[in-house]
Amino acid sequence: MLKDISPELTNRLISALKSAFCYVPELKEITEDEYVENTQAIRTEVTEIRNTLIALGIEPDELYAEMNPQIKSNTSKETTKFIKDLKKEISSN
């Protein structure tokens, strides 16, 4: 599916997903007190988003710091290299 999308649009979609994820509650914040009967569905959706980010080489737990550079990031050199390599691969398709 992404093969049919231009590299520019792919990068914009990934950027949008990363930005939106910064507003998604953490799994520990999704409680029955807050979300009542929707708790499990919301947890499943958040997990799916996290897994999508991971598949793209993006570490969800470090994403907020990446999107907000004024906050010091804990991204490892290996993760940073993997993300750069993946972005190159995506942009070459």
Per-residue pLDDT of the chain (93 residues; tens, 9 = 90+): 556 888 899 899 999 999 999 888 889 899 999 888 999 999 999 999 999 999 999 999 888 788 877 655 445 555 666 667 777 777 776
Q: What is the pLDDT of residue 43?
A: 96
State the pTM of this model. 0.65
Are 93 and 7 within 8 A, CB to CB?
yes
pLDDT for the residue 81: 66
Phi-psi region of 5 (alpha: psi -120 to 50; beta: other; left: phi over 0): beta
For residue 16 the two structure tokens come to 């949008």
Computed on alpha carbons and rounded to an integer, the radius of gyration of the chain in Å comes to 15
Is position 70 within any domain?
Answer: yes
Question: Does 79 fall in a domain?
Answer: yes
Residue 42's domain comprises 25-92
User: How many independent structural domains does the chain possess?
Assistant: 1
- Residue 7 inside a domain? The answer is no
Report if residue 32 sits inside a domain: yes
Residues 14, 56 contacting (CB under 8 angstroms): yes
